[in-house]
Amino acid sequence: MAIDLNTLSARELDSLINQAKKRKTTLKKRKSAAVVRRKIEALARTEGYTVAELFGSAGTGRVRKAAAPAKTARKLGKVPPKYRNPANKAETWTGRGKHPRWLAAELAKGKKIEDFLIKA
């Protein structure tokens, strides 16, 4: 965060100085991270835990997020085709999902989907 001091008024500079002094006082009152880490490790040991068990790391100060559960697609059974391309008998469609290109092109020409039904 860069602050351009040349653009601040005297009142804004005084306010910034006061905020900086308050922050400095707060930081001076805090114990160092190493001291706090040792206390946490000691407390965890007395309770029978390790820091890694409690926080998911070896006390590096970083907590690892749990892995998100894998999204699994709903498995649907195999379905016989319902529609066939009359120009190419090998091209079929089950009626699930997006229209295949050949069918979309024919529908765009004004044909009806019923024209492509496979008669049982």
Q: Convert the pLDDT of each residue in 28-86 to its tens digit.
A: 888 888 888 899 989 989 989 888 888 876 545 555 566 677 777 777 788 999 999 99
Return the closest-CA partner of residue 115 out of 81, 79, 84, 80.
84
| Residue 8 CB partners (closer than 8 Å, separation 6+) | 16
Which residue is listed with tokens 């006061």? Answer: 18
- pTM value is 0.38
How many beta carbons lie within 10 A of that of residue 55, not counting itself?
17
Give CA–CA dist 59/38, Å, rounded: 10
Give CA–CA dist 66/68, Å, rounded: 6
